């Protein structure tokens, strides 16, 4: 069993809701579950949840690029 199989069977922690989920997307080295992804896409900029999502997404850091 490789590391990808282990991640899929155990799940990863979403940076938005902090729960372990098995389905979602990766933003650099961070994981966002499908539920939060859908919720973010449907949130209007005037909604208070929008600011919450922005603050949580600040935890996503671009990995350094070595040349």
Q: For residue range 24-52, what is the model confidence (pLDDT) as tens digits?
A: 999 988 999 999 999 999 999 999 999 99
Domain ranges of the chain: 3-57
CA distance 29 to 52: 20
Contacts of 20 (CB under 8 A, 6+ apart): 10, 11, 12, 13, 14
What pTM was estimated for this model as a whole? 0.76
CA distance 17 to 28: 18
Phi, psi of 66 (to 5 degrees): -95, 135
With a pLDDT cut of 90, the percent of the chain lying above it is 67
Query: Which pLDDT value is given to residue 24?
Result: 97
Query: Which pLDDT value is given to residue 43?
Result: 97
């Amino acid at each position: 069993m490789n590391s990808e199989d282990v991640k899929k069977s155990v799940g990863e922690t979403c940076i938005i809701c902090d729960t372990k989920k098995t389905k979602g997307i990766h933003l650099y080295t961070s994981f966002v579950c499908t539920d939060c992804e859908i919720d973010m896409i449907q949130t209007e900029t005037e909604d208070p949840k929008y600011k919450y999502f922005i603050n949580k997404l600040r935890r996503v850091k671009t990995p350094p690029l070595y040349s």
